[in-house]
Structure 1
Amino acid sequence: MKDKLIILTGPTAVGKTELSIKLAKSINGEIISADSMQIYKDMDIGSAKVEQKFQEEVPHHLIDIISPMDSFTVAEYKSLATEKIKDIISRKRIPIISGGTGLYIDSIICNLDFTEGNKDIDYRNYLENLTEEKGKEYVHSMLKDIDTESYDKIHPNNSKRVIRALEVYHITGKPFSSFKRDDLYDVPYDIYYYALTMNREDLYNRINKRVDTMMQQGLLEEVIKLKSLGCNGRLQSMQGIGYKELLKYLSLDTTLDDAVEDIKQNSRNYAKRQLTWFRKDPRVKYIDKDIYSDEEILNTITKEVRS
């Protein structure tokens, strides 16, 4: 019998954090963050990091684990998250992966190869950032001229596999399609995969309000502090939405009002890409927050997990 693993995801600002905390309390669970910005220390406001008081109520993992000066790969996330899952299960508790970074989630619940050999961290980081910036279709198109079989067989939404294929060719000069591939969904967990959704207009309004709240809470001051510590636009951490736009403002390349509007627009675009990403996995169950209350959602998930 496989151990249970819950995934609670959805677009930015949809309300994952609050629901994941309630769920963890309900089922004796612990939360593993799947957020590519919350891994960084000193980047609290722009990443909408879980408040400390809530982290004390329910154990949270993979938050504040590295300096914003450092790079971090999906392979490293997979390794750390897998260790946390095993630890949580060993203590008779249920791991809940909560967050909106699809690459992180796929690294755990899809059987993807992260062998230590033939790995180029800088190139992988470049491709991961390119996926965030220009989308999965753009990165997938890079396969067309170097590995036709992989281009035809790998779905554009399966960015982890696309990135791996590009990385393998970059290092070895051989098509990824010539290497052995595993069954994508053959993983050692009993997966309960939920994605929260809501009316797009309502979601966009929530995103806009969240950005305004972040600015009121001191997002600009947070970026100024990071800049004073030596953080710049070349760092992986400072490519995050909210940080790159305000760095541009601090460099006198735009006005503050325009920078804030760019944060809102980029956040809305990111939410759109997130929704597209989650649709690729047939295991996902969608839950519409316009129809169901948090209490109803909580009861549904709890009942399914306990059955």
Structure 2
Amino acid sequence: MDSETKIPVGVIVGPTASGKTALAVEMARRLSGEVISADSMQIYKGLPISTACPTEEEKQGIPHHLLEFLPLSKSYSVSDYVRDAAAAIQAVAARGHFPILAGGTGLYVRSLVENRQYEDEPGHQEVRNELLRWSEGKTDEEIHNVLQTEDPEAAKQIHPHNRKRVLRALERYRLTGRTLQEQNEYSRRIPSPFRFSLVGLSCRDRAVLYRRIDTRVDRMMEQGLLQEAKALYGTPCAGTAAQAIGCKELFPYFSGDTSLIEATEKIKQGTRRYAKRQLTWFHREEGIHWLYLDDVPPGHALVTTLADECEALWRADGLLGDR
């Protein structure tokens, strides 16, 4: 498939609280577009505040996809996302609208952009359960040493203390017999039907982003985060949903082990750490055009200025055609 026949997709990435939703909505308004989320937490029902899911007011009537559709008890894999996002993009384009992918889950974005092909290997749950039983009582270093023997390349890329990723790498190797490098090459064997242009939002001064995060957390508390977390407290959740920043930090408050002030500060700290991890991920990715919020001169409308720059970049990349 040549580039002229591929579906053009605008992509907006960046850390939490950088303004991705506002920019995506403005670009969709300008370009007759629809927004496809790339956020691994906003897929879940029942967590609109803690996951900063866009409100109806923030959406401004723009159609959004892959938001709040999954029960908290259900798991959702990267392969599920690639399948669903690709289907959403094709449906948006079929309506004559411009697809805009926006979110901060780097693995979702990378897997879609690279058209990673994931296979549902038979027996994966059995292998996973077997590895979990085997790993009980073993140190992180012992488990990592086994990965070093079976897939040295994966072991180099995964920190020994990231136990979950180490076990997942062992699971993948034992299911497929392929190393990480071999699996990556195999998964990219089919060309993508899409043509992407990526824009990243960030702040040159990290303190600016952290202030935005603190302000967002304070606003979330005003909007009812405490009640949302209380409803989640004790509810069976899938592993991903249980890690929602803003809820798990409040659980010790509900059990009487910390104060509300301390729990709120923990939410801010956790969100800042998450934003730092997002930036580390995206700065390793190639082909992202970065726009910086603190480059916008005082007195200029932030979203309008960023949208002007974003549109110019997408147009220069040949994404917009006659739009």
Matched, 1:102 2:106: yes
Q: Provide the rounded CA distance (Å) in 1 between the counterparts of 2:284 and 2:122.
A: 27
> Shift of the alpha carbon at 1:70?
1.9
Q: Which has the larger radius of gyration?
A: 2
Q: Provide the rounded CA distance (Å) in 1 between the counterparts of 2:84 and 2:31.
A: 23
Partner of 1:302: 311
Q: Which moved more, 1:253-262 or 1:173-182?
A: 173-182
Contact kept? 1:118, 1:168, Cα under 8 Å: no
Partner of 1:256: 260
1:104-183 paired onto structure 2 within 5 Å: 104-118=108-122, 120=124, 143-151=147-155, 165-171=169-175, 175-177=179-181, 181-183=186-188
RMSD: 3.0
Contact kept? 2:118, 2:187, Cα under 8 Å: no
Q: For the structure 1 residues 170 and 88, does the alpha-carbon distance in structure 2 shift closer, same or farther, using more than 3 Å as the test?
A: same
Partner of 1:189: 194
Contact kept? 2:22, 2:58, Cα under 8 Å: no
5+ residue gaps, structure 2, are 129-142, 297-301
SS for the counterpart of 2:148 is coil
> Shift of the alpha carbon at 1:59?
0.2
TM-score of the aligned structures, taking structure 2 as reference length: 0.79
Partner of 1:211: 217
Matched, 1:247 2:251: yes
> Shift of the alpha carbon at 1:111?
3.2
SS for the counterpart of 2:150 is coil
Q: For the structure 1 residues 174 and 191, does the alpha-carbon distance in structure 2 shift closer, same or farther, using more than 3 Å as the test?
A: closer
Q: For the structure 1 residues 142 and 51, does the alpha-carbon distance in structure 2 shift closer, same or farther, using more than 3 Å as the test?
A: farther
Percent identity over the alignment is: 36
Q: Provide the rounded CA distance (Å) in 1 between the counterparts of 2:144 and 2:289.
A: 26
Q: Which deviations, in whole Å up to 9, do the C-alpha atoms of 1:92-146 show, x marking residues without a partner?
A: 211111111112112211232311225736988xxxxxxxxxxxxxx99984343
5+ residue gaps, structure 1, are 125-138
Q: Which moved more, 1:176-185 or 1:283-292?
A: 176-185
Partner of 2:281: 277
Aligned pair count reads 287
What letter corresponds to residue 284 of structure 1 in structure 2? I
Matched, 1:290 2:299: no
> Shift of the alpha carbon at 1:206?
0.9
Q: Provide the rounded CA distance (Å) in 1 between the counterparts of 2:195 and 2:25.
A: 21
Q: For the structure 1 residues 242 and 174, does the alpha-carbon distance in structure 2 shift closer, same or farther, using more than 3 Å as the test?
A: same
SS for the counterpart of 1:144 is helix
SS for the counterpart of 1:190 is strand
SS for the counterpart of 2:87 is helix
Partner of 2:16: 12
Partner of 1:131: none
Q: For the structure 1 residues 251 and 284, does the alpha-carbon distance in structure 2 shift closer, same or farther, using more than 3 Å as the test?
A: same
